Chain A
Amino acid sequence: MFSYYLELALRSLKRSPGLTALMVLAIGFGVAASMTSWSVFRAVSGDPIPWKSSKLFVPQIDAWGPSGRSDKDDGEPSDAMNYTDATTLMREHRAKLQSALYQIAPSVVPAQAGRHPMNVSGHAVYGEFFPMVDAPFKYGSGWSANDDAQRAAVAVISAKLNEKLFGDTNSVGKSLNIEGKDYRIVGVLDKWNPQPRYYDVVNSGGFSEGVEDVFVPFQRAIDVGIPNDGNTNCNETPKESGFVGLQHSSCVWIAFMAELDDSSAVSTYRDYLTAYARDQQKAGRFGWAPNIRLRDVPAFLEHEHVVPSDTKVSLLVAVGLLLVCLVNTIGLLLAKFLRRSGEIGVRRALGAPRNAIYAQFLTEAGVVGLAGGVLGLLLTGAGVASVGFVLPKSISDLARLDVSLLVITLLVAVVATMLAGLYPTFRASRVQPAWQLKSN
Chain B
Amino acid sequence: MSMHIQPILAALRRHKAGTVLIALQIALTLAIVCNAMFIIQQRLAHLSEPTGVDEANLLVIPNQWAGHMSPEQADAQVRTDLVALRQLPSVSDASPSDAYPLSGGGWDNFIMRKPEQLTPTTDASIYLGDEHMLDTLGVKLIAGRNFNAAEVVYMAPRQVVIPSVVIVTKALADHLYPDGSALGKPIYAMSTTPTVIVGIVERLQRQGVSQWNKAYAYESLLWPARQDATGVYYIVHAKPGQLADAMREVPRALYAQNRLRIIDPDDGGSYVQIRKRIYDSDRGMAILLAIISAVLLAITAAGIVGLTSFWVGQRRKQIGVRRALGATRGDILSYFLTENLLIGIGGVAVGVVLAIAINLWMVTQFEMARLSLIYVGIGVIALLALGQGAVLAPAIRASKVSPVEATRSV
A67 touches B158 (CB 8 A): no
* Residue from A105, A237, A308, A327 whose CB has the most chain B CB atoms within 10 Å: A327
Q: Does A310 contact B (CB under 8 A)?
A: yes
- Given A116-B262, A227-B157, A313-B366: A334 touches B191 (CB 8 Å cut-off): no
- Given A179-B68, A327-B28, A392-B281: A238 touches B160 (CB 8 Å cut-off): yes
* Residue from B21, B35, B118, B159 whose CB has the most chain A CB atoms within 10 Å: B21
Minimum CB distance partner of A241 in chain B:
B159
State the A residues within 8 Å of B (CB). 18-19, 22, 25-26, 29-30, 33, 67, 105, 107, 109, 116-119, 177, 179-181, 227, 229, 231, 234, 236-238, 241-243, 245-246, 308-310, 312-314, 317-318, 320-321, 323-325, 327-328, 330-332, 334-336, 339, 389-392, 423, 427, 440
A19 touches B158 (CB 8 A): no
Binds A, one of B163-171, B217-225, B287-295: B287-295
Q: Which residues of A contact B230 (CB under 8 A)?
A: 105, 227, 229
Q: Does B73 contact A (CB under 8 A)?
A: no
Minimum CB distance partner of B285 in chain A:
A310
Q: Which residues of B contact A440 (CB under 8 A)?
A: 410
Taking a contact as CB atoms closer than 8 A, the residue among A180, A241, A390 that contacts B158 in the complex is A241
Q: Does B149 contact A (CB under 8 A)?
A: no
Q: Does B29 contact A (CB under 8 A)?
A: yes
A-B contact pairs, 5 of them (CB 8 A): A25-B299, A119-B66, A237-B190, A241-B158, A389-B287
Q: Which residues of B contact A25 (CB under 8 A)?
A: 299, 302
Q: Which residues of B contact A180 (CB under 8 A)?
A: 67-68
Minimum CB distance partner of A396 in chain B:
B284
Taking a contact as CB atoms closer than 8 A, the residue among B21, B118, B367 that contacts A331 in the complex is B21
B281 touches A236 (CB 8 A): no
Minimum CB distance partner of B307 in chain A:
A331
Q: Which residues of B contact A237 (CB under 8 A)?
A: 109, 160, 190-191
Minimum CB distance partner of B314 in chain A:
A339
**Alpha-carbon distance A320/B313, docked complex (angstroms):** 31
Taking a contact as CB atoms closer than 8 A, the residue among B24, B31, B156, B292 that contacts A327 in the complex is B24
B contact residues, total (Cβ < 8 Å): 62
Q: Does B58 contact A (CB under 8 A)?
A: no
State the B residues within 8 Å of A (CB). 17-18, 21-22, 24-25, 28-29, 31-32, 35-36, 39, 64-68, 105, 109, 118, 155-160, 190-191, 229-230, 259-262, 264, 280-281, 283-285, 287-289, 292, 295-296, 299-300, 302-303, 306-307, 310-311, 313-314, 362, 365-367, 410
B306 touches A22 (CB 8 A): yes
Minimum CB distance partner of A391 in chain B:
B284
- Given A313-B366, A390-B288: A331 touches B22 (CB 8 Å cut-off): yes
Minimum CB distance partner of A239 in chain B:
B160
Taking a contact as CB atoms closer than 8 A, the residue among B29, B67, B283 that contacts A117 in the complex is B67
Q: Which residues of A contact B25 (CB under 8 A)?
A: 324, 327-328, 331
